[in-house]
Every structure is written in structure tokens, then in C-alpha cells.
Amino acid sequence: MTSIKEDVSHISNGEEGDLKKLDTAHGDEAIKVLAVYDGDQTWTPEEENKLRRKIDMKLLPVLCVTYAFLYADKVLLGQAALFGIKDDLGLNSGNRFSMASSIFYLGFILGAYPVTFLAQRFPIERVASLAIIVWGTTLILTPACTNFQGLYAQRFFLGFTEAGISPIFMMIVGGWYKKDEQSLRMGAWYSCTGYVSIFSPLVNYALGHLGGSLAPWFYMYLFAGALTIICGVLIYFVLPSDPIRAKGFNGKERFIAVSRMRTNNSGVRNTHFKGGQAIELLTDIKFWLIFFYALCGMFANAPISTFQAIIIDGFGFNPLNSLLLMIPSGVYAGTMMLITTYLAYKFPGWRAYIIIICQLVTMAAALMLWLLPRSELGGLLFACYILTTTGAGYAVTMGLFLANNAGYTKRSLASSGLYIGYSLGNFAGPQVFRQEDSPHYNLGFIVVVITAVIAGSLVLVYRILCSMENRRRDKAGTVEGFEHAYEDDLTDRMNMQFRYSL
């Protein structure tokens, strides 16, 4: 049986019990729930497990469906390339197609922090809903582009509007789940980047053969944009943003949901931006190690998200077969993300090693795509499929990074910072897959080999530093504890009771 002591006894409930009267400028908003709850403060493991399943049922389907749309949008450009968008918009000249892919991530970089700031300041579900509706509207307007310059502008604003979704999802998971639960939940919604590739090639092939007066790729963007707008509207009503305000939970469930998060030592939600935490993040070497890991690791994403259909087409297959041959890649990618995040859940001290193994597999896949002769179609397709292992490593990284950053402002900015590194890698990656190197793209795969090695090395250094800091705190006589989980909104560096996940 678990219980929580009256750690908020120094806070006045007020005669009216009004949550809004509690000052949370320094502490976490979870204090509101703890301060006003006057029921039984103990619960059994069975009650907690039942509550966790309820949270899963309310939250994960929403995150999974939304993220599936997010990734379907990213691979849409590569699939539309098989149905005329390159010819219609003049993308065949030089590196225009590569730039059309890259410029999306320039918008992503510039939009990540503004959207995340809004999500900290205002209700998350409203910010997410608005961002998704604007993203869907931008997507549905793609057929209005008549040249590559127009597509560049559209892709930039598309990236800007999508930028905050992934960091927001990380913030939501961090507010609902304990450290040891986060990686598996991250893997659940991130795996949809793979599984959506089972269906999107079939849907887009059908849309590309509708006929009519419009270009085939028009239908792809109109359909995807309409679904995204519908998703954005639904998000407003169904997304349970945090246990403090989410609907559908009684008082005891809400109390347990908040109280059990103490073990994270990172809080649930705080709407006050704290400049000191931002400065701490920028001076934290561990942040920069993971930032540059994301940057280097995402060079491998270019041949997956944008160029995979084109690369497979270059093996000599027709457009239909090229799309169909992407399906095993989606099955493999989604399944590997679930497997690796499950292993991270079962063996929490091995998370960094799991990420490193994923980078080694990515390196091997890039070597095969670089060195195998074009006649070895089976080996080349196998390499295309296992190249997606880089995404499995990234799924584990999100959970590890989220668990290792405390202080709500710091954690929010760290989530955005991770995606800026991700975006820089995705921006640079397509630039090394040049039109003049097609269909082999040797330079691109050489760069992927090098960046995969660098990414794995950075994660190893990150683990060593976290382990050393844990040992230093142990030797200093400070044991792991949770007294400062909510009241002080302390960062991981300030709270000596905090221990880093490995």
C-alpha cells in the first residue's frame, strides 16, 4: 500500500478551497490537487495499475493517431514524387527536391520554441488543437503551389506549424507517467511513424490513380490535409493534457495520478517561465551531447522519410511496386520501436546501450546501401528496411532525455531543444543526397555511416557523465528522495536527491 504524507501542510487550502488561490509561481501546479484533497491518502498497487490503464486508454490512442498523421505528412513528399510533383513544380533541377525536403525542418527549428512556450503558458490541448488545425490547413493548400518557390514557402510554414507537436507530446507523457513508464509510452506513439507506412503507400497509390482534372498528387495532399484538420478539432475535446485538469477522473484518481509522480522529481506542470532554468539548460553539457546525437542520428532519416520511395524506385521497380515495397519497412520500423522501448522499460539501466546498438545497425545498413552492387536487390531492400532502426534508438532517447531533465521550464525547453537537433539533422541530411548522385547516392550513405558512429559515441559519453554524477551524489551522502518533487520546482542539477537514468 502506498501513501503520501501531508507535504503541503504549509499551504493554506483557503476557506473556499479554490484551486486558483494557491501560489504556484515557485512550485508545481500539482500542489493544487494535493492541497485541496481531503480523502484517503493511501492506495494499493492494484488501484494504481487500474488508474494507469485508464490513463493509457484515454491518452495513447490520441497521441498515436495524431503522430501517425504527423509522419504521413513527412513521407508524403517522397511518395508524391512518384506521381508528378517533381515535374509539375520544377523540382528535378539541381537539388531543388532535396531543398524542398530540408526547408520543412527550417520551419520546424524556428517554430519549436514559440509553440512550446505557448503550451507552457496556456492549456496544452488548446495550443495543440490550434497548431494541428493550422498545419492541416497549410497541408491542404499545397496544390495551390505552382512552382518550386511556392512549395518552399508552403513547406517552411508547414514545418513551423508542426514544430511544437512532438515536444508537447513529450511534456504530456512527462506529466502523466513515472520515469520507468515513459519510454514504453513514448515508443507506443512514436512507433506510429513506422506503422503508418503500412497504409500510406496504399492510400496514396489509390489517390494517385483517381483520374479527373487534377494532378494525381493533388488528391494526396487534399485528403491528408482534410484528415489532419478533423484530427485537430477532435484534439481540443479529447486530449487529456495533464492530471490536474483532465476530465473523467474522480478526486481519488486525480490525487493518485499526481501523487505517484513525486518519484520523477520533475513536477507535473508549471505555467511560469523561469529564465534561470533556461540558462542552466544551455550550460548543461549533457543537453548538448543529446542535442548533437539527435542532429547526427537524423542524417539517416533523409533516405527513410523523403528518399526511400525514390531509392527503391532506383532499384528498377515501377511506382506501384516501389510503394508496396515500403510496407515491410513500416512494419519493421514500428515493431523495432516497440521492442526497443519495451527493453528500455524492462532494463532501465541499459537505455543508452540500446540506443548505441541501434546506431550500429544504422551504420551497417548504410554500409550495405553504399557498397552492395545494384544486382543484390534482396540485400539492398533489407538494408533499406533496417536503416529505420535509427528511429527505434531515437524513441528510447526521448524517454531517457525526458526522465533526466527536471524543472518544468528546463524540461519543456529540453524537449524542444531535442527536436531542434532532430530538425537540423533532417535539414542537413537531404542535402547530401544530391540529384547528380542518384540512383546510388554514395556520398549520402557515406555521411550516414560517419554520423551514425558519431551519434553512438555521443550517447556513450552521455551515459558515462550521468553515471559519474550519480556516484558523486551518492558519495556526498545525499540519498535519492522526493521531498522537493513539487514545492520548489527544482532542476535536476539543483536537486541533489535527483538521480539520472542510464
With a cut of 70, say whether residue 457 has pLDDT above it.
yes
Give the cell for residue 326. 515500403
Instruction: Name the nearest CA neighbour of 235 among 134, 118, 138.
Output: 134
pLDDT in tens, 375-411: 888 898 899 899 999 999 999 998 899 889 888 788 8
Highest mean pLDDT among 7-11, 353-357, 478-482: 353-357
Give the cell for residue 243. 492530471
pLDDT in tens, 136-168: 999 999 999 999 999 999 999 999 998 888 888
Q: What is the pLDDT of residue 41?
A: 81
Give the cell for residue 89. 513544380
Kindly report the CATH class assigned to 25-475.
mainly alpha
Highest mean pLDDT among 127-136, 176-185, 409-418: 127-136
Mean pLDDT of 106-125: 86
Q: Which of 18-32, 65-79, 202-216, 397-411 is the least confident region? A: 18-32
With a cut of 70, say whether residue 241 has pLDDT above it.
yes
Q: Which of 90-94, 417-421, 460-464 is the least confident region? A: 90-94
Answer whether the bond into residue 348 is a cis peptide, omega within 30°.
no
Per DSSP, the three-state class of 3 is strand
The secondary structure element, H or E, covering residue 2 is: strand 2-3
Sign of CA dihedral 356, 68, 201, 79: negative
With a cut of 70, say whether residue 28 has pLDDT above it.
no
Q: Which of 29-43, 323-337, 410-424, 468-482 is the least confident region? A: 29-43
User: What is the b/e burial string over 469-481, where b = at least 16 CB atoms within 10 angstroms of the residue's CB?
Assistant: bbeebeeeeeeee
Task: Please provide residue 212's backbone torsions phi and psi, each rounded to the nearest 5 degrees.
Answer: 95, -170
Task: Please provide residue 443's backbone torsions phi and psi, each rounded to the nearest 5 degrees.
Answer: -60, -45
With a cut of 90, say whether residue 37 has pLDDT above it.
no
Give the cell for residue 182. 515513459
Q: Higher pLDDT residue, 327 or 23?
A: 327
pLDDT in tens, 76-93: 888 888 888 999 999 888
With a cut of 70, say whether residue 6 has pLDDT above it.
no
What DSSP state is assigned to residue 375? Answer: T
| Rounded Cα distance, 200 and 204, in Å | 6
| Rounded Cα distance, 418 and 288, in Å | 9
- State the chain's mean pLDDT as an integer: 84
